[in-house]
């Protein structure tokens, strides 16, 4: 009976690694104080998926030997995840989301989590690379910056939930850098 239980457990663990998973990548902005004068600025936010690799997935499950198994996909389009997260950050910083002001475009070049194997636990290493550009209402580009957000979490399972959490943290790393950049906030008030 014990042998049967061990075989059943082994089959379940193996089946998890070989089963494709689709997850939501949630994002909640960190608490932040409003930027002085932000309430008078209306911002339009767009995002473009410019990834050249891993376009069909956001991560891959691995087995205990580190071999890639089943893909992990996002329920939402990656561009929509980034646009909605950046919009939430703007609201958190006191800006209004509406047409008529500067346009902010986030071009996604990397949005991927890579699992790694360790002795007692593994790692979920995420990278979210963006190019953020601000265009003034007159149509002139007044700001552009490449961002390379990273996150690394200790995990017990190489699954979708852990990939999504790590990717969300890497996205937050991008936005922390972006909103700390004085040139970015000045570009938003440029006419």
Q: What distance in Å separates the CA atoms of residue 168 and residue 61, rounded to the nearest whole number?
A: 18
Q: Looking at residue 2, what is its pLDDT?
A: 62
Residues 6+ apart with CB under 8 A from 132: 104, 105, 106, 107, 143, 144, 145, 147, 178, 184
Beta bridge partners of 44: 103
CATH superfamily of this structure's domain 2-188? ABC-type transport auxiliary lipoprotein component (3.40.50.10610)
The pLDDT value given to residue 1 = 63
Q: For residues 184 and 86, give the distance between their C-alpha atoms in angstroms, rounded to a whole number.
A: 13
* pTM, 2 dp: 0.88
pLDDT at 13: 45
Query: Under a CB-based contact definition with an 8 Å cutoff, are residues 127 and 168 in contact?
Result: no
Give the H or E element holding residue 42.
strand 42-49
Residue-level pLDDT at 18: 83
pLDDT number for residue 191: 64
Low-confidence residues in the chain, pLDDT < 70: 1-15, 191
- pLDDT of amino acid 120: 86
* CA angle in degrees (0–180, nearest 5) for 30-33-39: 115
For the chain, give every domain's residue range: 2-188
């Amino acid at each position: 009976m014990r042998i049967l239980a061990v075989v059943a457990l082994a089959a379940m663990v193996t089946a998890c690694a070989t089963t494709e998973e689709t997850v939501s990548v949630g994002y909640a902005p960190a608490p932040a104080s409003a930027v002085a004068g932000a309430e008078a600025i209306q911002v339009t936010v767009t995002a473009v998926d410019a990834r050249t690799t891993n376009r069909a997935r956001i991560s891959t499950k691995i087995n205990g030997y580190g071999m890639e198994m089943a893909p992990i996909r996002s329920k939402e389009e990656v561009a929509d995840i980034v646009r909605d997260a950046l919009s939430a950050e703007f609201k958190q910083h006191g800006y209004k989301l509406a047409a008529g002001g500067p346009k902010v475009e986030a071009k996604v070049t990397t949005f991927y989590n890579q699992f790694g194997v360790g002795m007692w636990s593994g790692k979920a290493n995420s990278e979210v690379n963006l190019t953020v550009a601000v265009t003034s209402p007159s149509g002139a580009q007044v700001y552009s910056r490449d961002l390379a957000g990273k996150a690394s979490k200790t995990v017990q399972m190489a699954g979708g939930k852990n990939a999504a959490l790590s990717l969300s943290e890497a996205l937050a790393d991008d936005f922390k850098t972006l909103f700390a950049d004085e040139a970015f906030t000045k570009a938003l008030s440029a006419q």
